[in-house]
Amino acid sequence: QAKAAGRNTMRFFDPAIQEAALVRASLEAELRQGLARQEFVLFYQPQMNSAGNVIGLEALVRWNNPHRGMVSPADFILLAEDTGLILPLGRWVLEEACRMLVFLTANSSTRHLSVAVNVSALQFRQPDFVAVVLDVLHSSGAHPGRLKIELTESLLLEDIEGAIQKINELKKHGVRFSLDDFGTGYSSLTYLKRLPFNQIKIDQSFVHNILNDPRDLAIANTIIALGQTLHVAVIAEGVETSTQRDLLAQCGCTLFQGYFFSRPLPEAQLQDFLRRHLAA
């Protein structure tokens, strides 16, 4: 066998690849340990309406690693998915977000706020996904109507019927669904028509250059119009300047999220932001 594979087997001994495999293995071990040691934290990015009031929060996970510092999800979510660690991590994110919801609900000035949670493909595909979400909602006491689940398009393609079923099952309990990064996946308008989302998020890649690239403006405009036609709320992600916000607002967009309003905030800073941006 080895002989038949010939020179090609050599590539398995390529030091660079071996090195990468080692780095990966040690990162995986650290990730596992990080979960056990509760090194993960949620930051919350405010979502705003046209009046400048906060209407909800998106929970974004970070890994507060003692050696690496605050690690961004871009650097560990893929590995967490590959290793299955996203399942315990994803459950923890749900629990933590529900804890925040209960906290928000306890105060009359914040009880209307929603909390959005990102759910990965592997997590959503689990046969017990619906049961897990309901279980976390139930044991936390969080109001299902304030929980929003963000899914990406690519995650829905494999089994559209199953996805629709899961979404509808949770919607029966009041949970809402948002289609994240819209326009960057294998968007099909048919899917959009069939999938019972409450909200679409215009991906930040279209917002980034919206002032200079007429094609990005056209795409954003079209998504906003589509949302209006389908009676699905539209929120623009990655809004960094007032000019971007104004242009999106001119297109009919009424919900915004981005650094212009706030970066994702640790819990300690969130309180202060909320005090300043809640409707009177």
Q: Pull the structure tokens for residue 119.
A: 């759910």
The residue (of 195 and 235) whose beta carbon lies closer to ligand C2E is 235
Q: Contact, 28 vs 79, CB < 8 A? A: yes
How far apart CA 238 and CA 246 sit, in angstroms, is 14
The residue (of 42 and 251) whose beta carbon lies closer to ligand C2E is 42
The residue (of 17 and 78) whose beta carbon lies closer to ligand C2E is 78
- Provide the minimum distance between the beta carbon of 238 and ligand C2E in the complex, in angstroms, as a whole number: 4
Q: Please report, as ranges, the residues that interact with Mg ion according to CB under 5 A.
A: 118, 150, 180-181, 237
189 membership: H or E segment, kind and range: helix 189-194
- In degrees and rounded to multiples of 5, residue 263 shows phi and psi of -75, 165
- Provide the minimum distance between the beta carbon of 80 and ligand C2E in the complex, in angstroms, as a whole number: 8
The residue (of 61 and 163) whose beta carbon lies closer to ligand C2E is 61
* Orientation of helix 129-140 relative to helix 160-172, angle to 10°: 20
How far apart CA 172 and CA 87 sit, in angstroms, is 24
Q: Pull the structure tokens for residue 248.
A: 């999106």
- Provide the minimum distance between the beta carbon of 264 and ligand C2E in the complex, in angstroms, as a whole number: 5
Interface mask toward ligand C2E for 209-248; x: CB under 6 A: ----------------------------xxxx--------
Q: Could you say which of 220, 258, 270, 273 contacts ligand C2E (CB under 6 A)? A: 258
Q: Could you say which of 118, 140, 178, 221 contacts ligand C2E (CB under 6 A)? A: 118
Phi-psi region of 75 (alpha: psi -120 to 50; beta: other; left: phi over 0): alpha
Dihedral angle over CA of 94, 118, 49, 193, nearest 10: -120
Could you report how far apart the first and last alpha carbons of the chain are, in Å? 74
* Residue nearest ligand C2E, CB atom distance: 258
Subset of 29-58 contacting ligand C2E (CB under 6 A): 45
267 lies in the binding site for ligand C2E (CB under 6 A): no
DSSP structure class, residue 239: -
61 lies in the binding site for ligand C2E (CB under 6 A): yes
Q: Contact, 158 vs 188, CB < 8 A? A: no
The residue (of 13 and 186) whose beta carbon lies closer to ligand C2E is 186
The residue (of 26 and 209) whose beta carbon lies closer to ligand C2E is 209
Q: Could you say which of 16, 51, 74, 189 contacts ligand C2E (CB under 6 A)? A: 74
Residues 6+ apart with CB under 8 A from 14: none
The residue (of 6 and 69) whose beta carbon lies closer to ligand C2E is 69
- Strands (E) across 82-211 are located at 114-118, 147-152, 176-182, 199-202
Q: Which stretches of the chain bind ligand C2E, using CB under 6 A?
A: 45, 60-61, 72-74, 77, 90, 93, 118-120, 150, 180-181, 204, 237-240, 258-259, 264
